[in-house]
């Protein structure tokens, strides 16, 4: 809602802050993924854990096709679009947000297997740093989404309603995961491992696309580079 308000209330036009926040958050999430989430995924010792990462990566490739790059801080759209276009953008963003929210419903005490319990416990410890990264990412997403809604001529009341629904999707993902844990439907931990793997694949795709996108004229941007270094350093310092 904060990200959306920057577009709907303050109508901020200068996107330099957006580029810097995108660079920092993408580098932070990439560092968190490589330094913490990847090791925890393979601690589970599930034979096909890596395939879940690939599935998540490919899923985000498909979602990007429908969201038109909103997750990356921009949206390539025409001025006149139909309701079907907006529905596909929102649906892809909701799937993306639902998966990103799922780790926050993890319960560290639910699994009996020692190694799986340890991995689950470590992931639980890293929930706060992950929450920071996902939240920064959501601010930029919501800003671009709200800007898109204004560009297509949507009334503010409806735009706020859609932003409110978008804000609820990640908490719903956390609730669903918590319910699965508490109900014992994922006692083996297979679903948890799959979810973490898919999340890693999504974060890898989004963060690398943001980081590798070139400035206009392929000019080197020192401010963005510093933001990237600070983002990776922040992820490295958490544990």
Please report the pLDDT score of residue 151 as a whole number: 84
The mean pLDDT value for 11-22 works out to 77
Contact indicator for 166, 143 with CB cutoff of 8 Å: no
Please report the pLDDT score of residue 16 as a whole number: 78
The mean pLDDT value for 162-181 works out to 93
The mean pLDDT value for 127-150 works out to 88
- Nearest to residue 64, comparing CAs of 216, 206, 239? 206
Distances (CA, A) of 98 to 69, 101, 123, 176, 198: 17, 5, 18, 9, 12
Q: Worst-scoring range by mean pLDDT, 79-83, 100-104, 148-152, 228-232?
A: 79-83
| 44 phi/psi in degrees, rounded to 5 | -70, -20
Output 71 or 2, whichever has higher pLDDT. Answer: 2
Distances (CA, A) of 105 to 24, 210, 233: 25, 27, 27
Per-residue pLDDT tens for 84-114? 888 898 999 999 999 999 988 876 554 444 4
pLDDT of 166 higher than 90 = yes
pTM attached to this predicted model = 0.84
pLDDT of 77 higher than 80 = no
pLDDT of 207 higher than 60 = yes
Please report the pLDDT score of residue 94 as a whole number: 94
């Amino acid at each position: 809602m904060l990200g959306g308000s920057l577009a709907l209330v303050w109508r901020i036009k200068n996107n330099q802050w957006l580029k810097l926040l995108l660079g920092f958050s993408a580098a932070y999430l990439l560092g968190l993924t490589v330094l913490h989430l990847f090791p925890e995924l393979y601690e589970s010792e599930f034979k096909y854990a890596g395939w879940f990462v690939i599935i998540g990566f490919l899923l985000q490739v498909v979602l990007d096709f429908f969201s038109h790059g909103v997750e990356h801080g921009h949206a390539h759209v025409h001025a006149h679009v139909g309701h079907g276009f907006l529905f596909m953008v929102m649906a892809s963003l909701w799937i993306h947000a639902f998966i990103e929210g799922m780790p926050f419903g993890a319960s560290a005490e639910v699994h009996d297997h020692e190694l799986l319990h340890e991995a689950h416990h470590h992931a639980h410890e890293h929930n706060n740093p992950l929450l920071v990264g996902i939240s920064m990412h959501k601010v930029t997403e919501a800003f671009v989404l709200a800007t898109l809604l204004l560009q297509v001529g949507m009334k503010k009341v409806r735009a706020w309603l859609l932003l409110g629904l978008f804000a609820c999707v990640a908490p719903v993902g956390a609730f669903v995961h918590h319910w699965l844990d508490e109900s014992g439907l994922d006692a083996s931990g297979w679903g948890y491992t799959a979810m973490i793997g898919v999340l890693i694949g999504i974060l890898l795709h989004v963060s690398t696309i943001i980081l590798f996108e070139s400035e206009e004229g392929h000019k080197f941007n020192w401010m963005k580079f510093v933001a990237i270094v600070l983002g990776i350093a922040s992820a490295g310092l958490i544990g």
